[in-house]
Amino acid sequence: MEFRRWLQRLEGAFTVFKVTEDLRVPYLLHYIGSKSFEIICDKVSPEDPYQKSFNELIEKMEQFYSPKPLEIAENFRFYQRKQQNGESLQEYAAALQKMSIHCNFGNYLKTALRNQFVFGLSSRRIQARLLESIDLNFDKAVKIATSMELSEKDAIQLHGGPNNSLGYLGSTSRDSKPTHHFKNSRDSTNSNKISNFSRNSNTVECFRCGGGHFATKCKLDKNIQCKGCGVKGHLQKVCFKKTTHTNSVEEILNSTSMILKKHQSLWRIQKLIPMSPPHGDRRGISDCQLN
């Protein structure tokens, strides 16, 4: 506590307990504590502090506990003061008033407080509102700014949190949009299957002869005729009743009835579905839908 505030409380205690003038010195020297008593004794030495007047003792104490600050330095600190992070406008205004005590502003006090209050605001929105106000004084500036501060906090609560606030200190930009990540359980499962399928397919099977190479590198005679369907170009062991052809390179992956077709950089997944043809035990290809 500042010495000036302590002295105010002391004067109040003297009034409450009806301490007379002749008893002020004994009361003061008794209740200030041993450390402060030693300081007063040193200040008035070699004289007896009990022989001094109350005002003389207070003056000695003030010189020690609250030396008069330099006016220019106090003015500099006052004009450097700005609203700090997490500091409310009421706290900011009170801090400015406290710092102005030793600035010796005189009749210019209210104007200096108003100017520095507006200049040091961290919210540009509130600052702009005050700058456009006519006949603005310090008290009016604090009232308007506090009202705007409270309304912004209430708006944040109405919109469910600081991420939805507009123009509030520390809030996100007006144009910023929250990013939502939705994950469908079925899509996730299918994606995992495709990923696992791709990783586990380390070998290929030629759809013409069944060998471990791509069909483009197959050395099988293109005119050879399938004994199952009569179509030329493949053997009966890899015959399918229906084959989906596109202008791409087909790759049959994974002997567990999955075919991976690559079209440039786009991969299609096809699934073998058992069919019941009229002749023999054959299978066809149908597109696999990832629903």
Which of these ranges, 17-31, 161-175, 236-250, has the smallest mean pLDDT? 161-175
Q: Strands across the sheet with 266-274, in order?
A: 204-205, 249-253, 258-263, 266-274, 283-287
Interhelix angle 34-44/54-65, rounded to 10 degrees, is: 100
Which of these ranges, 81-95, 110-124, 148-162, has the smallest mean pLDDT? 148-162
The mean pLDDT of the chain is: 77
Distance CA 240, CA 281 (A): 10
Answer yes or no: is pLDDT of 45 > 90.
yes
Model confidence over 152-161: pLDDT tens digits?
Answer: 888 888 887 6
Cα distance from N-terminal residue to C-terminal residue, the chain: 72
Distance CA 20, CA 137 (A): 43
Residues in contact with 7: Cβ distance below 8 Å, sequence separation at least 6, in sequence order: 58, 62
| Six token digits for residue 152 | 């912004």
Question: What pLDDT does residue 203 have?
Answer: 66
Distance CA 169, CA 152 (A): 9
Question: What pLDDT does residue 257 have?
Answer: 43
Distance CA 109, CA 43 (A): 35
Largest CA distance in the chain: 133
pTM of the shown model: 0.44
Question: What pLDDT does residue 173 have?
Answer: 41
Q: What is the dihedral of CA 92, 97, 103, 105, to 10 degrees?
A: 120
Closest CA to 7 of 54, 43, 39, 42: 54
Question: What pLDDT does residue 163 have?
Answer: 53
Answer yes or no: is pLDDT of 279 > 90.
no
Model confidence over 202-222: pLDDT tens digits?
Answer: 567 888 888 888 878 888 887
> Greater confidence, 18 or 161?
18
Question: Where do runs of H (alpha helix) occur along 81-232?
Answer: 89-99, 109-119, 124-131, 138-158, 185-200
> Greater confidence, 219 or 100?
100
Model confidence over 127-174: pLDDT tens digits?
Answer: 999 999 999 999 999 999 999 999 988 888 888 765 554 444 444 444
Residue 108 near residue 116, CB atoms below 8 Å: no
Answer yes or no: is pLDDT of 268 > 60.
no
The CA-atom distances, in angstroms, between 205 and each of 68, 211, 213, 271 are 95, 5, 6, 15
Answer yes or no: is pLDDT of 256 > 70.
no
> Greater confidence, 182 or 12?
12
Distance CA 226, CA 231 (A): 5
